[in-house]
Structure 1
Amino acid sequence: MDAEYLIDVIRGEMVESRHEGHVAVVNSEGQLLYYNGDPNRVTFARSSMKPLQAIPIVETGAADFYNYNQAELSLACASHNGENQHTDRVKNILHKLDLTIDHLKCGTHPPRWQETYEELMKSGKEVTPEYNNCSGKHSGMLATAKYMGERVDDYYKMDHPVQQRILEVISDLSEIPMDEIEIGVDGCGVPVHGIPLKNLAMSFAKMANPVAFPEKRKNAIERVTAAMMAEPEMVGGTDRFCSDFMRIEDGRMFGKVGAEGVYCVGDKETGLGIAIKIEDGNSRATSPAVVEVLKQLNLLNEEQQERLQAYHQPELKNARQEVIGQLRPIFTLKNA
């Protein structure tokens, strides 16, 4: 099946552009309930996979051994802004591991939070790996490697036990055999996993309702999702959809963005999982699509819809900060 138009980009009174995409809504038994486009589209989950990648931190015992609190566990699921609240915790985790910033193999990029970047430039300080939006995930991977007595210099490589544990978790939750999962390299250098969109949605549904798993895995999943919802500012940061969305949902839903227009949600009350892929990879269309799906599924009350309005139909502004248009969802979920 082809992608479908999901989001219109309005400038003035005219549709200037359109974003096509795919949606899959699945229950924790793996049944596809609603969709748009192609729910079988094999999709690299990108950073949407981070909550699954964090499960071994708890399962191995590393989280308890290194006294991970909820903020640090939430940070393991993050694509963070690089604010002080994030980088200070990354450095604290590395201190507990008796490792340094140099052990992070995520590479560097300027922090997403402009104020942090400006402070670094004014002070003449170097942009180091803790500012990478994936440094929480990488420090978590280092924690499992260190706790398990494994190599810490190549934890990011596919043949390392850290990545093999993660692959097993993803296979288990998505019900895709390990050797059928597409493998690429993510922006931060670790393996990235490609699975059908409906199976990605199923993974989040199973995290929302993990009762079918053995106790050890069930407890690990519950701790990861509880940490994300309790400390949502760690997952993104100031003015980020992931953080604002989970704060507004107040312990009911967890959500995670992924690069190239991916977003996933798990709803603990209904056990539903939602996965969205914007075909052109433009992430500006993800939050409007997410809020529209939740609205059509009647999972948002009026107050929540109002508080999420800026993400549902984001305003477009010019360089003078004048409103000149907006993004508008235009799709209707199809019953599967």
Structure 2
Amino acid sequence: MANPVDLVEVWRGDLLECVHQGHAVVCDDTGQVVAAWGDPETVTYPRSSCKMIQALPLLESGAGAHLTPEQLALACASHNGAAIHTDRVKAWLDDLGLTDDAFRCGPQMPADRDARNGLIRADQRPCQVHNNCSGKHAGFLTLTKHLKAGSDYELIDHPVQQACKAAFEEVTEENSPVFGIDGCSAPNHACTVHGLARAMAFFATAGDRSDRRSDAAQKLTSAMMRYPELVAGETRACTELMRAMDGKAAIKTGAEGVFIAIIPEKRLGIALKITDGATRASEAVIAALLVKYGVLDAGHPAAQARMNPPIKNRRAIETGFMRPAAILGL
């Protein structure tokens, strides 16, 4: 990745011990770059940060017309596998007349402690419904049923994935140069950081328009902001920061240091990529940019926990701290 810049500093005592580099882009309502750090044309996989784009065909097709805002939030989620997530996804499967076997995302041990410990105590293995992407895949199954398409909905040439690719390329305004297979087995299409931010600006301004895609984008954004606990879960950055902003922005993390933000009231879209893939760095930068653009209080505990967390040793002695780099202008 060409020309990344220092975005996050990690200090121990008086020594700068670690620096996380990356790229970040802010786009306005026309899709133009209004601020950038690093190289906006860096190509990356958005990973789970683009789930709201993957959910567009679900609503545009009419397949999801009956879905609740909670289900739409789950379609955009990388959830913890807590009961509030899995109970809803199971009910969604029941509505489709399907079982866990219909999923193609694979089983995953829940990140939620209570759910994980419950499985261990019962000597049970996790199911695919526990997968953090099961809400997205329930959306895929809903679209598959609507299209009367084959069961292997995760394959690149399946109508569901072709619809997702078309939506992705249209809202990023780029021809994706390559795709990879994500952790949940669905294709993930690469784009530039600028393209991803441009797509998020499309979502941020969806309320200005009345076409079918914009209506879908507005509903998905609203669902994420209304149900932050379904988008991720307790202790997670997406959930805690969206709660702290109280409906001012929708945000979504992706694996390997990707994060996006949709800010309707500012008509802005944000995308960032940390080159070493560090989650602590992507969370620090997205929090800093949300503060910079006036939708997150810098003093809120959720913001402080990401931007300026103390570093403590095994005896709880504070040994250092982390902070956004000065280049971000806070």
Which bracket does the TM-score occupy, shorter chain normalised? Answer: over 0.9
- The alignment partner of 1:291 has SS state of helix
Alignment match, 2:171: 173
Q: Percent identity, please.
A: 38
- 1:216 corresponds to 2:215: no
Task: Confirm or deny: 8 A CA contact 1:285 1:327 kept in the other structure.
Answer: no
Which of 311, 318, 324 pairs up with 2:313?
Answer: 318
3-state SS of the aligned residue for 1:21? Answer: strand
User: Structure 1: which amino acid aligns with 2:260?
Assistant: C
Compared CA separation, residues 108 and 317, structure 1 to 2 (3 A) = farther
Judge conservation of contact 2:291–2:298 (CA < 8 Å) in 1. Answer: no
Q: State how far apart, in whole Å, the 2-side matches of 1:323 and 1:90 are.
A: 41
Counterparts of 1:16-55 in structure 2, within 5 Å, are: 16-55=17-56
**CA–CA distance in 2 between the matches of 1:213 and 1:167?**
22
**Which residue number in structure 2 is paired with residue 330 of structure 1?**
325
TM-fit CA distance, 1:333: 4.0
Residue 301 (structure 2) pairs with residue 300 (structure 1): no
Q: CA deviation at 1:201?
A: 0.3
Distance 2:11 2:77 in 1: 31
2:191 paired with 1:195: yes
> Structure 1 stretches of 5 or more lacking a match?
none
The DSSP-based 3-state class of the residue aligned with 2:319 is strand
Pair 107,321 (structure 1): closer, same or farther in 2 beyond 3 Å: farther
Q: Once the 2 structures are TM-superposed, how far is the Cα of residue 296 of structure 1 from its aligned partner?
A: 2.7
The residue number in structure 2 matching 1:158 is: 156
User: 1:86-141, CA deviations, whole angstroms, 9 ceiling, x for partnerless residues?
Assistant: 01111111101111101111112211112211111011111111111111111110
86-95 or 204-213, which deviates more: 204-213
Asked if structure 2 preserves the Cα contact closer than 8 Å seen for 1:34 and 1:333, the reply is: no
Q: Deviations over 1:54-82 (max 9, x none)?
A: 11111112222xx3211111001011101
SS in 1 for 2:190: strand
SS across alignment from 1:275? strand
Q: CA-to-partner distance for each residue in 1:219-258, whole Å, 9 max, x for gaps?
A: 1111111111111111001011111111222222101000
SS at match of 2:36: strand
Distance in 2 separating the partners of 1:218 and 1:301: 29
Match of 1:62 in 2: 63
1:71 is aligned to 2:70? yes
Q: Tell me, what secondary structure is at the counterpart of 2:229? A: helix
SS in 1 for 2:140: helix
1:241 aligns with 2:237: yes
Structure 2 spans left out of the alignment, 5+ residues:
none
For 2:182, which of 174, 186, 204 is the aligned residue? 186
Q: Does 1:98 align with 2:97?
A: yes
Q: Residue type of the partner of 1:238?
A: E
Secondary structure of 2:266's match? coil
CA distance in 1, matches of 2:11, 2:100: 44
Q: State the AA in 1 paired with 2:286.
A: V
Whether 1:262 and 2:258 are equivalent positions in the alignment is: yes
Count of residues paired in the alignment: 328
Given the two structures, how large is their TM-score scaled by the length of structure 1? 0.93
Mapped contact 2:13–2:320 kept (Cα < 8 A): yes
Q: Is the alpha carbon distance of 1:323 and 1:133 closer, same or farther for their aligned partners in structure 2, counting shifts above 3 Å?
A: farther
Counterpart contact for 1:6–1:21, Cα < 8 Å:
yes
Distance 1:35 1:11 in 2: 28
What is the rounded CA distance, in whole Å, between the counterparts of 1:86 and 1:306 in structure 2? 25
Which stretch of the first structure deviates more once superposed, 163-172 or 108-117? 108-117
